[in-house]
Amino acid sequence: MSGRAGVAQRLGDWWAGLSSAGGDGLPVRAGGMEYRRTASTPASVLGFDQALVWVVVALLAWGTVMVYSASIALPDNPRFGKIAPTHFLVRHIFALVMAFVAALLAFQIPMVLWERYARALFLLSLFLLVLVLVPGVGTVVNGARRWLSLGIMNFQPSELAKFAVLIYAADYMVRKMEVKERFFRAVLPMGAAVAVVGALLLAEPDMGAFMVIAVIAMGILFLGGVNARMFFLIAFILVLAFAAMVWFSDWRRERIFAYLDPWSEKHALGKGYQLSHSLIAIGRGEIFGVGLGGSVEKLHWLPEAHTDFLLAVIGEEFGLVGVIALIVLFFWMVRRIMHIGRQAIALDRVFAGLVAQGVAMWMGFQAFINMGVNLGALPTKGLTLPLMSFGGSAILMNLVAIAVVLRVDYENKLLMRGGHA
């Protein structure tokens, strides 16, 4: 009892100092600084964040319904052969079951173990990214070699790479906390690691995944307290690098021109075909939509309606109201995860806090890009809508990431009750 009282006393003294200092003593940028005990986030409740769980469940359930709705006409397409109308629904549900099991296992792993094996996980992701490029091993779909066939499902190593870079970057910043102001000792090695991952991803090619990974790594460097001038210098270099990739790649450059004028005669049936039909679908939805199952664009007009352009079908069937509701759900989820990360940092658990905030940036940025592409605000890029689009490995790694965030929240509350994380 005396040990617990001592821990409680130290936490109380530390908390008082944190509140008076306004968070200036924290080793990283916490964003919100102190964690306030409010009715919406009771620190006295031991367990995981139930509100976050229910929002994730709502997104998964809505996504399952929309995958079925968007894919119901695909059996009529000769490209898919003779498949049942429920083919993609069954595969999606199977992926959800696999992802749920993996998430349960991930939740059982303490954050100290994730930190200990961060470098091993990063090396494993690099090995798989190399393996997928080997002819005869990696599966080619639509000209891209991105998948490994595991028999029961196809696995996309780039999805594991997002999670691995996130864990590795958080561990890296904790290890480099003493030299985070020095470019060559703190920033350059992390930049080199991201460059290696990017080179392997561009060889597939998968520029969308590279963009997400670059944003995750840059975000964790910034939140970890890297010098702002160095951060913006790296960000500027990254922007120039992506601009050069687009400029020196004919088909990427054509996508940009098609995005600028998707309705032109040159682009409407070419590079701008997906975007133009996505805009038609969203326009047909108007305010309240045409009703669930009533979409016309999913009837072989809009390609990849069940994956990259699922939001367009949602916009057509649920209208502006549905799209706004979806944006609100994602915004609330990202904000909640960032809050959990800030709480962990306030409890001096920097690695756990950076991991949670990295997951928030991952989900938020990828959802932002997908929505922007569907709404015509951004050039076409093959990124799925997190937690909703059809795709086994994406759903799997999304739920594993959410499970890790719930573990962070669980350990936060355990620590605040006087226990040990």
pLDDT tens, the chain, 421 aa long: 444 455 445 445 544 443 333 334 455 555 443 344 444 444 334 567 889 999 999 999 999 999 999 998 888 877 777 788 898 999 999 999 999 999 999 999 999 999 999 999 999 999 999 999 988 888 877 777 888 888 778 889 999 999 999 999 999 988 887 766 676 677 788 888 988 998 899 888 888 899 999 999 989 988 887 777 777 887 888 888 888 888 887 777 887 877 888 887 777 777 888 889 999 999 999 999 999 989 999 988 888 888 899 999 999 999 999 999 999 999 999 999 999 999 999 999 999 999 999 999 999 999 999 999 999 888 888 789 999 999 889 999 999 999 999 999 999 999 888 766 5
Domain contains 124? yes
Report d(CA 270, CA 57) in Å as an integer: 37
Count of domains observed in the chain: 1
pLDDT for 83 equals 84
Angle between helix 350-374 and 392-416 (nearest 10): 140
Q: Which residues pair with 141 in a beta bridge?
A: 144
C-beta of residue 337 within 8 angstroms of C-beta of residue 405: yes
Question: Would you say residue 236 lies in a domain?
Answer: yes
Q: Report the distance separating Cα 386 and Cα 112, nearest Å.
A: 27
Per-residue pLDDT, 377: 87
Residue 16 lies in a domain: no
How far is 354 from 340, CA to CA, in rounded Å?
Answer: 10
In the prediction, which pLDDT does 56 show? 97
Residue 19 in any domain: the answer is no
Q: Which residue has the tokens 């009703």?
A: 291
In a domain, 11, yes or no: no
Q: Is 10 within the bounds of a domain?
A: no
Q: What is the DSSP letter of 385?
A: P
Say what the pLDDT of residue 260 is: 80
- Domain annotation covers residue 4: no
In a domain, 139, yes or no: yes
Dist. CA 409–CA 49, nearest whole Å:
7
User: What does DSSP say about strands 138-141 and 154-155: parallel, antiparallel, or unpaired?
Assistant: unpaired
Of 82, 68, 58, 59, nearest in space to 306 by CA:
68
- Per the structure, the complete domain to which residue 147 belongs is given by 25-416
What pLDDT is stored for residue 36 in this prediction?
A: 42
Measure the CA–CA gap between 13 and 71, rounded to whole angstroms.
57
Record the pTM: 0.85
Strands, E assignment, 43-192: 138-141, 144-149, 154-155
